[in-house]
Structure 1
């Protein structure tokens, strides 16, 4: 696998080795030993998630104040613009973000470590997103930041419309957010 650090060095782009022939393709989407060797991250994943969304659906920016989750994102169908935001107050990259397009064609993955907010918007007609997380979902600890927060100034791709959940519509701006300690 090829591992490329982003502008936020702890957020990594993972490119698995894909074997293609006239039958299709095969790749190992996760191997703990190889992941740890290549990234320096020995993550224990405890839960797998799958979401399906149509074009313009924006999910995020989500994080947990306790039981923060590291996430390994992979698109099974379609394409998304995936975003990680450093929300660790003590970090020199606090409030910085990175975004990358993930597609079912290139099989790239994005590793977002605990301590970061995460979100994505669907660019294709629809997208299925599979992701592994390092801690269990704890709804009582889940929080959101407004996707269009001016303090973050995320450069989301231009789409005809954005569809948000009620929770994401009502998410506070960063200065009013409870952040993890």
Structure 2
């Protein structure tokens, strides 16, 4: 088996650890294998690969999502440094609606998060000069982009530290109202 797939407490959210091959030359492992991922029900095609480079420890990016029909699944991996990766379930009628999951992803632990459509995603860097790769199943569509405020009390996310850098847009996403219904994702 090339990967260890772990269920999380949020449905269809997977924590994935590649199984490396090591010899005198160094280390080899796969970031993605369609046949292996199909075993957990993931059969979508990736449309875009993004690379985020973050200078400062404490940088927060998020919490981002795209409205249907542009919703996207993301495969996220930290390739340098480490992050606290955080997702929030915003799927209508989900039993874990507005619950979040947080996990440390690092170049050292090589873990990845497969984030399904209907989740808001963000992260905080835990080291300077941290880099993240994300595969997306849909193209970036500015008209469909939305976000949740990273420090919204309704989300109850425990960030490791106060942000050292955050975009004006991310810092000013609206707070959730009590009548927030989430987004509808077709299965």
Q: TM-score range by the shorter chain?
A: over 0.9
C-alpha distance 92-109 of structure 1, shift in aligned 2 (>3 A): same
1:122 and 2:129 are equivalent in the alignment? no
Root-mean-square deviation over aligned CA pairs: 1.5
Q: Aligned residue for 1:47? A: 48
Q: Aligned residue for 1:24? A: 26
Q: Aligned residue for 1:14? A: 16
Among 62, 65, 69, the residue aligned to 2:64? 62
Q: Aligned residue for 1:174? A: 176
Cα distance, 1:169 vs. partner? 1.3
Q: Aligned residue for 2:111? A: 108
CA distance in structure 2 between the partners assigned to 1:22 and 1:169 by the alignment:
47
CA distance in structure 1 between the partners assigned to 2:107 and 2:30 by the alignment:
14
Q: Aligned residue for 1:75? A: 78
CA distance in structure 2 between the partners assigned to 1:4 and 1:20 by the alignment:
23
CA distance in structure 1 between the partners assigned to 2:158 and 2:83 by the alignment:
14
Please say if residues 75 and 107 of structure 1, whose CA atoms lie closer than 8 Å, have aligned partners that are also in contact: yes
CA distance in structure 2 between the partners assigned to 1:178 and 1:138 by the alignment:
22
Please say if residues 78 and 130 of structure 2, whose CA atoms lie closer than 8 Å, have aligned partners that are also in contact: yes
Could you list the runs of 5+ residues in structure 2 that have no partner in the other structure? none
SS at match of 1:90: coil
Q: TM-score, normalised by structure 2?
A: 0.90
SS at match of 2:84: strand
1:91 and 2:91 are equivalent in the alignment? no
Please say if residues 58 and 161 of structure 2, whose CA atoms lie closer than 8 Å, have aligned partners that are also in contact: no
Cα distance, 1:126 vs. partner? 1.7
CA distance in structure 2 between the partners assigned to 1:174 and 1:71 by the alignment:
23
SS at match of 2:72: coil
CA distance in structure 2 between the partners assigned to 1:125 and 1:63 by the alignment:
25
Cα distance, 1:44 vs. partner? 1.3
Cα distance, 1:40 vs. partner? 1.8
Q: TM-score, normalised by structure 1?
A: 0.93
Aligned residues: 179
